[in-house]
């Protein structure tokens, strides 16, 4: 795992704890890594001339097929939505003219 992903994971845990009553958020590990991969993939699709085609993504960034989370509560969904908004703001600040928020 890269340092960037480790930092994002730590931040994700902090933000998610603020929105959920469950302090044991390790169940989100697989989902988090899929989310990070998805965001990176969208960046590669949106601005390939700046960061390369999707094929240039490192093998570590590619997530194998794993089961998704089942039965996400509304509180959990709010935490994940907040993380997604934070991610989109961070990405748009890096490439404000070249990329829009990832859907």
pLDDT in tens, 9-44: 777 777 666 656 655 556 566 666 677 777 777 776
Q: Is 86 helix (H, G, I), strand (E, B) or coil?
A: helix
Alpha carbon distance 52, 44 (integer Å): 6
Residue 45 — pLDDT band, cuts 50, 70, 90? confident
pTM for this one? 0.35
What's the whole-number mean pLDDT along residues 59-81? 58
Residue 88: CB partners within 8 Å, gap ≥ 6?
A: 101, 102
């Amino acid at each position: 795992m890269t340092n960037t992903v480790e930092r994002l994971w730590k931040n994700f845990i902090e933000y998610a704890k603020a929105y959920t009553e469950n302090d044991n958020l390790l169940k989100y590990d697989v989902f988090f890594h899929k989310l990070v991969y998805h965001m990176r993939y969208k960046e590669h699709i949106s601005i390939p001339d700046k960061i390369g085609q999707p094929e240039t993504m490192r093998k570590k960034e590619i997530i194998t097929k794993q089961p998704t989370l089942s039965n996400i509560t509304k509180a959990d969904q709010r935490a994940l939505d907040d993380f997604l908004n934070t991610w989109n703001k961070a990405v748009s600040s890096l490439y404000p003219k070249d990329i829009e928020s990832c859907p």
